[in-house]
Structure 1
Amino acid sequence: MDHFFTVEAYLPAGARTYSCVHCRANLADHNELISKSFQGSQGKAYLFNSVVNIGCGPAEERVLLTGLHAVADIYCESCKTTLGWKYEHAFELSQKYKEGKFIIELAHMIKDNGWDAREFRRNSSI
């Protein structure tokens, strides 16, 4: 069964956000970032508590670096690019914190909005 999330949701203007590198659709607010220490199939990935503008495929069991999980691929609702996955179920107790959370690979997202202004202020005060 497919799961669908908010389509064409816009995160607050001026907030530090992440967007799809392919179509610039908003994906996540920086405040929803849990960890930058994850590995996707194409390299580094971030773990988020919640995301927007994504679709979710059917869950399947996969053996990942941290053991067996039931995961569902997630994709950008705008351009349909696969971005990462959602943890539906963790079979090991130590991995339960991942359930319901989302992995987005860095290869598919960019920093957007408030990042530039904050970087400018930091650099101009040096």
Structure 2
Amino acid sequence: MSHADSASPTRVVLMYAGRPTFSCSNCTAVFALQDELISKSFSGRDGRGYLMHSAMNLRLGTKEDRPLLTGVHTVADVFCVGCGDRVGWYYHKASDHSQKYKEGKYLLERERIVKDNAWTLHD
């Protein structure tokens, strides 16, 4: 879900049983299905970051122009609705034409999320 297209800034989803997900490393609120992953080759504030098509259970912070490795982008930090931790940011606008593909996407910081593969073992 893109917050740019939404009337409500927050959507709460409790869980996706049996589907691989990315969740908050602090409170386990689900942020995204694995299917939403675009790339693991991004940089966040504190290390590696994952670019996601959409995300949920996040609250948008204030928009700001921020100089990033690929130029100045208009972004808003995103915060977990479960515990309030800052977990990444949302790309509102990219100033460089080659970076426009990021608009409407989320950067989730690897150190702030965990992946649940939803595997089950059978005897």
TM-score, with structure 1 as normaliser: 0.86
Among candidates 25, 30, 40, match of residue 26 of structure 1: 30
Matched, 1:69 2:85: no
Structure 1 counterpart of 2:10: 5
**Structural RMSD (CA):** 1.5
Structure 2 CA distance for aligned equivalents of residues 97 and 17 of structure 1: 23
Taking every aligned residue pair, what percent have the same amino acid on both sides? 44
2:55 partner amino acid: V
Matched, 1:107 2:111: yes
Q: Which runs of 5+ in 1 are unaligned?
A: 122-126
Structure 2 CA distance for aligned equivalents of residues 26 and 75 of structure 1: 12
Structure 2 counterpart of 1:124: none
Shift of 1:10: 2.9
Q: Which has the higher helix share?
A: 1
After superposition, give the CA deviation of every residue in 1:77-111 in whole Å (9 maximum; x if it has no partner): 01000000000000000000000100000111101
Structure 2 CA distance for aligned equivalents of residues 85 and 12 of structure 1: 23
After superposition, give the CA deviation of every residue in 1:55-82 in whole Å (9 maximum; x if it has no partner): 0011100110000100000000010000
Shift of 1:112: 1.5
Structure 1 CA distance for aligned equivalents of residues 20 and 31 of structure 2: 11
Runs (4+) off by over 2 Å? none
1:83 partner amino acid: V
Q: Which runs of 5+ in 2 are unaligned?
A: 1-7
Shift of 1:37: 0.4
| Rg comparison, structure with higher value | 1
Shift of 1:14: 0.5
Structure 2 counterpart of 1:78: 82
